[in-house]
Amino acid sequence: MKKFLAPTVFEIQRQHQLTTEFDIQYRLITAHDAPAALIKAVSHARKQEGLITSLEGVDMYWKFVGIVDLYAIDEVEDGGEVFSQSHQTAEPMPYVQFVKQRTMAMQAKNLIFV
């Protein structure tokens, strides 16, 4: 069996909201080959579709949009890179601030400070 990373995109439709949100989930799929992994990833994603109610009582519909890629994952050593993503911008400070805020929030949530 081989392991694959399947970026899975959902559209989140909320009641009375003018903007549309998309959620990209990177799911680990185990299969014999890439075609089987794609079929399995789509099957998992379709199970996640549906109407849910948020903690605030807002109805949201999660609609599966698609699997945007499929990455074969070879044996990964401790600390090895699994996925990489680049972000390019003319104004780096807002992005750096965003990353630092997300980092602090994650550390606070897990009570880990580095």
Tens-digit pLDDT profile for residues 88-97? 778 888 888 8
CA 75 remoteness from chain centre: 21
Under 8 Å between Cβ of 73 and 7: no
Report field, pTM of the whole predicted structure over 0.75? no
Two structure tokens written together for 16: 């009375």
Burial-class residue 41 by CB neighbours within 10 Å (0-12, 13-18, 19+): buried
Mean pLDDT of the chain: 86
Mean pLDDT of 93-111: 81
Q: What is the pLDDT of residue 34?
A: 92
Span 4-45, pLDDT tens digits:
999 999 998 887 788 788 888 999 999 999 999 999 999 999
Residues 6+ apart with CB under 8 A from 78: none
